[in-house]
A and B are shown apart, each in its own frame.
Chain A
Amino acid sequence: MAARVIVVTSGKGGVGKTTTVANLGTGLALRQKKVVMIDTDIGLRNLDLLMGMENRICFDLINVAENECRSFRQALIKDKRVENLFLLPASQIKNKDALTAEQMVRIVDELKEEFDYILIDSPAGIESGFENAVAPATEAIVVTNPEVPAVRDADRIIGLLQAKKIYEPLLVLNRLRSDMVKKRDMLDVDDINDILAIKLLGVVPEDEQIIIATNKGEPVVFNQQSKAGEAFRNIVRRLEGEAVPFMSFNTEPGVFGRFWKMLHGR
């Protein structure tokens, strides 16, 4: 068995990469998959917070990269709620130049045989942190928001991923608000598909449950009442190859003409 190695990235910051990794990781583990999540956001780690694992960190990614612990297993934090879910946390103190792409490739190679999924949380930007996160990956999920700048950055990132031979990244559109889309105050799914033209893995609505979940350290996929939770569960199933119909957010895509203004943000 060799793991699927998936990097979750976006270009623009704060669009929901870490939230996506936490929920997909948890969702996959809930389906009995063996999952490790790697936080590569050196100096700004927070995947451990979202997972409620902060107080259990002993070693981190840099320690592993520099062989400062006996084995990488020592650094993996095991989730207490779900079997087979692990986190390799980022280092909070070291600066971001402490890690190299070669080290990432080596670490992932060592983990590959033991897991079904390796999910890599990438930092924002297109610099070395992005390069490190992408280096070991063979698949990518691009997260974006329904806003012109986020979509522009996603487009840039898709081009960069393709240059690294990840030709078919998957798209997660996060924080969609159907009320705003209806009034044409927000780009809708069609607008974004038109531009990015990559396969849509899922649409996650804006949901205050995510904020509550984030603060509790308990990913929203656990929450059966939450729309966002349902969206992430669907994404997990699609990632596993199931054909799951897209949730309806009561939008009426494509009934209004598309205007120059929308596309160009002026």
Chain B
Amino acid sequence: MSFATKSLFSEQLVFKGLKQGLTLFIPEDKPFTHWLGVLDEQLERAKSFFRGGSILVELGERKLSPRELSELKAVLTKYQMTIKAFNPLAKKLFSARMKMDEPAPSGVLLVKGTVRNGQRLEHNGDIVVKGDVNPGGELIATGDIIVLGVLRGIAHAGVRGNVQAEIIALTLAPVQLRIAHIYSRAPEGMEVGQGPEIAHIKGETIVVERL
């Protein structure tokens, strides 16, 4: 199956239904920005068809810069579309996360003071909080999360799929812990541990151990 939205004169990009899923082909013969423009127009015309879809993108030998990647994502987001993975034609199906050339982690984010209800911090790298994280406060890191105080809010470490990521707190009393794709709710009535603890993935679950 192969289709393209109907238009006699304008250039179009090809969407194909591969077994891995609907795939957008971006040829290598013209600059990337050119094809982005084409894609935008094409999606604009066929809005209702593509809306909400998650697609694969075949780039061939082309490598995307972080900037090009975010531009591509921006165009797709406009039509509520997301990228599931890149280059399905390559031998191995790279996960979108791996191939996306994510910007390199930008080191440690040091937070001084309490992270309060309604405050949310996202960081590409590790987060260290010199203070507490209160219920309703959220930390989201691609790397580790370290709380030099009481963690009572939500912490999500390794958010882009890093299963090695860890969550450490002087007192661990969170509503919920998340590492990579694994979520864990605190068991009902669980007593807050005394002293520093570390949470990490073992097998398919998050375990909490004394540090």
Contacts and interface: CB of A to CB of B under 8 A. Distances in A.
Nearest to B118: A156
B204 interface: no
A263 interface: yes
A159 B117 contact: yes
B189 interface: yes
A259 to B, nearest CB: 6
Interface footprint category on A: 10 to 19
Contacts of B136: 152, 155-156
B116 A159 contact: yes
Grouping DSSP codes into helix (H, G, I), strand (E, B) and loop, the B interface class, with mixed when no group exceeds half, is loop
A183 interface: no
Interface in B159-208: 173, 175, 186, 188-192
B119 interface: yes
B191 A160 contact: no
Given A152-B135, A155-B136, A266 B117 contact: no
Contacts of B190: 260
A110 interface: no
Interface string B58-78: 000000000000000000000
Nearest to B190: A260
A159 B118 contact: yes
A197 interface: yes
Interface of A: 152-153, 155-156, 158-160, 162, 194-195, 197, 257-261, 263-264, 266
30 contacts: A152-B135, A155-B116, A155-B117, A155-B118, A155-B135, A155-B136, A156-B136, A158-B116, A159-B117, A159-B119, A160-B118, A162-B116, A194-B150, A195-B152, A197-B114, A197-B132, A258-B192, A259-B191, A259-B192, A260-B189, A260-B190, A260-B192, A261-B189, A263-B135, A263-B152, A263-B192, A264-B135, A264-B152, A264-B175, A266-B188
